[in-house]
Structures are given as structure tokens and as C-alpha cells.
Amino acid sequence: MGGSPHALAPIPLVAVPVALGLGCELAGWLTLAGGSNLLLAVHLLALGLLVFPLLGMGWQLLPVLATRPPSRLERDASIAITVLAILGAAGLVGGMAGPFSATAPFALALPVALMGRSAVAVLTVAKAPGRLGIRAWIAAAELTLLGGAVLGGALYLQRAGVPLGFSPPSTIAVHAALMALGWGGGNITGFAALLFPMFAIAREPADRLLVPAGALWFVGILGWMPPIFGLGALAAALLLGASLRGRGPLGPGLVLAGVAQLGLLATAAAWTLERPFPEVVALAAALWILPLRVGVALRIVPFLAWANWLSDHPKRSPAPAALVPTRLAWVLVGAVLTGGALVVTGTTLPAFLPVGALVLATATLLLVATLGTILSRAFFANLRAGGLAGTESP
């Protein structure tokens, strides 16, 4: 997966946040379908689609970008940050599930944890060799987090009764843009520029193109200039789309990743055309971030399972792609795209929203089943490959 073959993070450090993210995502779609607490649903989905996936996969992808395994200090910091983030997420959910509970103050641990992760990420990319464009995207995304996290903490305190004087609607829109488009979108795009060429066996986007695309993207967000962001999004989508046109087979993972670039363009167009910001957020979550995250998971999880369990005996092990249950993965693709389209339609025709949310809750369960199948196939393949010749189980 590029760089050092030993640049693998400890499995629990990656798996625990990813699993928690899937749980939050499922709870978020079900809460959205019920329509009882929109604020809780949105934050559950933020935890499930952005915070925990970027936390868990980031601990693996940062060493890949740095082309070296994490140091002992980095691992200890990663563990502490992950624990703090879990504590903060529990407080956030507790504080939004109803009247502020005793757990609510712990929510402030979440922005602290994310800023700690940003410090680790920025130091890592600063010392990483080459790939200036990718490193610039990730560093800019992490610096954008500072504003988003501070605003989020301030909004939470104001909801708790601290009179900070913020105007909730406008401040919420800025917070959402900084977190979803800036931090989340910047990290997703930067890591996609690293991963897509690996998956598709293609060249990475050139630094001379990635850097100006990132400049447009982040200047558009920080200056609240949607057309400028739109130009950056168009450039990023073209560069990532070109990275998918390699020599590798498409498959469900790369198809979803490609469709996600259309979702990115739709998100940028909606913001540029001054559509209501909830519609922009829905497009970003349901037709860009979700398909891309699922698509990447369908490619990276088989590789990580193979690298951790099967790489010691490659001649007696199946290839990573053979671990994927193809039919189930294609059903997952259909559920993700159908549910995403219904959720976005539901921002203007509310009757479609609960239906789309239920479809995406089903898609989350399908993703869990798909990933479980991949991991079980790798586990049993490891048992067979590790047995004595002639004693393997059929």
C-alpha cells in the first residue's frame, strides 16, 4: 500500500473507531427516519460518517503517507486521543438525546481530542517525504478544523445556557462548512489522492495540479465564496476521476468512489447556486462522503486484512480482492446510491426523507455484513494457509 510494508497501525486502534462509527451511523439514520430529534441525528451521522472513520483510518493512513510505522510516542498519543474522542462523543450524544444529562460536559473532550489528532497529523505530514500536494491538502484540512471545533464547542456551551451571543443559524452553517467541507472534505480528498491510484494502479495526481485545487477549495470555504470552492471541487473531482482510470478492475468499490465525485460536484453546485444549506449538507453526506467512504472501505479493508493475516504466506493465500463477497457488495452499492438520492430528495419533499434514511440504515447493515464476510474469509484463509501441507481444512 505504498511506502513501508510494515507501516501498519495496531488493529484495535483502527478497528475500534471504525466500528463505533458504523454504530453511530446506523443510529443516526434510524433517528433521522424517526424524525424525533434532528439535531441528534445530524451529530450521530457526523460521528459515523466523518469523526470516527477519519480517526480510525487516519491512524493507518498517516503512517502510509509518512512511509514509516508510527513511533511509540505516536502510538501512545493515538490511543489517548482515541479514548478522549470516545468519551467526548458519548457526552455529545448524551447532551443532545434530551435535556442536558450528567454526561453532557464531557462533550467538550471531543474538540480537544480532534485538535490533538490535528497536531499529530500536521507533524506527521510535515516530516513525510514527497507528495507535497497530498500533504498540503491534509495539513490545510487539519488547520481548518481549529475554527470548526472552536465554533462547535461554543455552540454547545451556548445550548447549555452560557450566553455567548452567537446567532445559531448562521454560526451552525459556518461550523458545518468548516467541519464537513473543510476538515472532512479536505482529509477525504487528500487521502483519496493517495489511495485511488493505488486501487486503480494509476499515477497519483501531480503536485502542480493538486496544490492550486486545494488553494481554491480552502479559500472558498474560509472566505465563504461558494464559486471559488466550486472551482476547487471541480478540479479535485477531475483529478480524482483521472486517478480511477488506471489498469486495475473497477469493481463495486471504485464505482462508488467514482460516483462520489459526481456527488462532490453536486454539493459544490448546490452551494454555488445558494440552495438552502441543509440541502448542501445532505448532498455532501449522502451522495459524496458516504459513497466515497463505503467505496474506499471495500478496497482498503480487504488489503488490511490480507496485510495483517495473510502476507506471511502469499503463495498459499487468496488475493485481497478475492476476500470481497462481490454480489453482496453490488447490493450495497445499490442501497447506498438509492438511499442517498432519497435523502437528498427529502430535503425538498419531506415524505422521502424517512424512507431514504431507512434505506441507508439498511445499507449500513449491509456494509457491516460485507466487512464481516471479508474479515471471516481472511481469518479462515489464514488458518488454512498456516496449516501443514496436506492438513488444511477444505
Q: What is the pTM of this model?
A: 0.90
- Read off the C-alpha cell for 106: 464531557
By C-alpha distance, which of 205, 239, 212 is closest to 228?
212
Q: With both helix axes pointing from N to C terminus, report the angle between 11-34 and 352-386 in degrees, rounded to the nearest 10.
A: 160
What is the residue type of 167?
S
With helix as H, strand as E and coil as C, how does 24-35 read? Answer: HHHHHHHHHHHC
Would you tell me how many other CB atoms lie within 10 Å of the CB of residue 63? 23
> 113 burial class (0-12, 13-18, 19+ CB within 10 angstroms)?
buried
Q: Any residues with CB less than 8 A from the CB of 219 and at least 6 apart, and which?
A: 225, 228, 229, 232
Instruction: Give 271-290 pLDDT, tens digit per residue.
Output: 999 998 889 999 999 999 99
Q: Are 239 and 204 in contact (CB under 8 A)?
A: no
Residue 1 has pLDDT above 60, yes or no: no
pLDDT at 293: 95
Q: Give CA–CA dist 212/319, Å, rounded.
A: 37
pLDDT at 386: 66
Q: Give CA–CA dist 174/230, Å, rounded.
A: 17
Q: In the predicted model, what is the mean pLDDT of the chain?
A: 89
Provide φ and ψ at 161, rounded to 5°: 115, 0
Q: Any residues with CB less than 8 A from the CB of 223 and at least 6 apart, and which?
A: none
Instruction: Give 154-194 pLDDT, tens digit per residue.
Output: 887 777 777 777 777 778 889 999 999 999 999 999 999 99
Instruction: Give 73-128 pLDDT, tens digit per residue.
Output: 889 999 999 999 999 999 889 888 866 666 677 888 999 999 999 999 999 999 88
Could you tell me the pLDDT band of residue 387, with boundaries at 50, 70 and 90?
low
